[in-house]
Amino acid sequence: MPSSEELINITKAAKMLGVSVKTLQRWDNDGTFKAQRSPTNRRVYKRSEVEARIGVSVTHKGSLPIAVYCRVSSQRQKDNGDLDRQQARVISHCTKHKYEIKYVFAEMGSGMNDKRTRLNRLLKLAIDKQISKVVIEYKDRLTRFNFNLFEMFFKSHGVEVEWVEESLPKTYEDELVEDLISIMSSFSAKIYGRRSAQRRKRDAASRETSNKEDS
């Protein structure tokens, strides 16, 4: 191994790639992204290979970098590694197209929640003109509904939205059901809450009338 080649440890490599150390360990084991071994048998990576994977080595002068956005709805999906695998697929797509990735956002949250922390950071980057493109795996990773509004927002700031796949796999059907149940629960809570408030108001008015009659 040439001494001129800079090696970095797994923690630094994970930070550069925007993934967890456990994800890199799994990628090494399954061959997705192989690590090398130090004399003490620790995982190390060539900096050039890590940079190539995120497109740093193919930066184009004058062009803005891109941002990757990944999302899952539930803790179960995250624990099963769905978020990490989604991230790996999108980064692989970007590497294939020689994109310069600077920002990787991955989070757990409902596609109907527009207050997601990392989503709002992404929107701020677009407003500040820090990126030229957002890459997602499926349209609904960005938002469950009103995708066209989000796309229009990004375009108004000179940012393109690119998705890797057109059709959602069946594995996301459960996620859609969960979101629909969440919508129904939210509406039900509002309806019952309003009725409860109206009932309390009527009861208070009734007590007030009764007190006046007693006096």
CA distance 53 to 151: 27
167 is catalytic: no
Contact between 73 and 178 under an 8 Å Cβ cutoff? The reply is yes
How far from 147 is each of 25, 112, 150, 167, CA to CA, in Å? 35, 11, 5, 14
Contact between 134 and 69 under an 8 Å Cβ cutoff? The reply is yes
**Residue 25 zone, left/alpha/beta (φ > 0; ψ -120 to 50; rest):** alpha
Which among 20, 38, 73, 185 is annotated as catalytic? 73
Token pair for 152: 């229009």
- Could you tell me the sign of the dihedral formed by the alpha carbons of 36, 39, 43, 45, in that order? negative
CA distance 19 to 88: 9
Residue 111: phi and psi, rounded to 5, are: -70, -10
Active site residues: 73
